[in-house]
Amino acid sequence: MTKSSSEPPRRLGEFAMIAKFFAPLSADAEGAFGLADDVATLQVPDGQELVAKVDAIIEGVHFLRTDPAGLIAKKALRVNLSDLAAKGAVPVGYLLSLSIAPWCDDAWLASFAAGLGEDQARFRLSLLGGDTTATPGPLTLSVTALGSIPKGRTVRRAGAVPGDCVFVTGTIGDAGAGLAVLKGEGALLTAYERDDLIGRYRLPEPRLSLGQLLPALASASLDVSDGLVADLGHIAEVSHVRVVIEAARVPLSRPCAKLWGGDAILRAITAGDDYEVAFTAPASARARIAEAAEKSGVPVHEIGRVEEGEGIVLLDVKGQPISVARPGYTHF
C-alpha cells in the first residue's frame, strides 16, 4: 500500500513514542525512573546547589521545519547548556516539554531523539523527564536544564566592579553571519567559509570546560545570546557600572570579517546567537584566565574594561565613542 500525501504523518501513540524514542535517553539517570513515573528526582550533592534554566525554541522563530531534526534537538539543548556554562555550573540532566506539530512524523522524532542522544553523550547529562503534547500550531520545544554548583558560587550578572577587565570567549558574530548567509549574503565567500558560518548559527558550542573555571575567576558572567552589546548592557545595568568595549579588540573570525568588511565589528556585536561567554574579572586574574583558556582549550580575549557610570560605550581605535543604533535582538 502506498501513502497518499493527504494522509496524516505516521506516528506512534503517546506511550509507545515515549518508550521508543525518549525512555532510552533516560537510561543512565536513576531518578528518571525510565520515564515511567510522574516526576523525576535528582540528588544534589551536599555542599552543592541546583542551577536551573528553561528556554523554548519555536518553529518559524528559532528554526525552520526543514532544518535537520537532530540539529534542532542539539540547539534546544545547547542554548540552555550555554547558560549553565556561563554561570560556572555543571549540567546534570534536563526535562523536555515537546509540543508536537501535525507535520512531525516518527522519522522526524527518531532523528530528533538521535540528536539528543549524541549531545547527551558529549555533554554527559541525561533526560530526566518530560511532557509530549500534540499542538495544532508550530513545533515548540522547551528544555529545562538542571545543573549543580558549589553553594553560592554561581557567577551572576551583578558583580562587575570598576577596574575590572572585560573578556569574551571564541569569536563574536559568526552565528549572525551564518544567518545572513542563509538569507542570501556571502556571494564572495567560499563554500567552506559559508558552511563554517552556517554551522556556527545552527550548532552553538556551550563553553562548559572554561565555564567550570569561572567561579574562581570572574566577577560577572553571561552567555552572549542577544548580541554582545545588549548582553554586556545587562551586566552594566545590574552591576550598576559602565562597560567600555574597544571595538578593535573584539575577536572576529576570518569568514565573518570577510563577509561584512568594514561593517563587520558593528554587525558582529549586535548580532545574536553567539553563545560565547562574556565575563568581567579583576586585572589581577589575567594570568590565571590565560591559563584557564589554555587548560580548557577555549580561546579568551580581553576586549574592554569596567568603569564607574552606566551603560555601554564602544570605542574606535582612536578611543572615540561609536554610536550603536540597535544593540541586539528582542522578541517584542
Pick the closest to residue 138 from 228, 45, 205, 62 (CA basis): 62
Cα 303 from Cα 251, distance rounded (Å): 8
Nearer to a copy of itself, 44 or 257 (CB): 44
In the complex, minimum distance from the CB of residue 130 to a copy of itself, in angstroms, rounded to a whole number: 6
Helix (H, G, I), strand (E, B), or coil: what is residue 140? strand
Helix (H, G, I), strand (E, B), or coil: what is residue 326? coil
In the complex, minimum distance from the CB of residue 140 to a copy of itself, in angstroms, rounded to a whole number: 5
Nearer to a copy of itself, 61 or 248 (CB): 61
Half-sphere exposure of 170 (CA within 13 A, CB side): 25
H helix or E strand, kind and range, residue 86: helix 69-87
Nearer to a copy of itself, 151 or 254 (CB): 151
In the complex, minimum distance from the CB of residue 10 to a copy of itself, in angstroms, rounded to a whole number: 11
Are 279 and 211 contacting, i.e. CB atoms less than 8 angstroms apart? Answer: no
Pick the closest to residue 18 from 45, 46, 38, 48 (CA basis): 38
Cα 10 from Cα 188, distance rounded (Å): 43
Nearer to a copy of itself, 185 or 310 (CB): 310
In the complex, minimum distance from the CB of residue 280 to a copy of itself, in angstroms, rounded to a whole number: 14
Nearer to a copy of itself, 58 or 257 (CB): 58
Cα 7 from Cα 3, distance rounded (Å): 7
In the complex, minimum distance from the CB of residue 319 to a copy of itself, in angstroms, rounded to a whole number: 30
Question: Which residues here bind a copy of itself, judged by CB under 8 A?
Answer: 11-15, 17, 31, 33, 36-44, 46, 49-58, 60-62, 83-84, 86-87, 89, 95-97, 99, 128-138, 140, 142, 144, 146, 149, 151, 154, 156-158, 222-223, 234, 238, 330-332
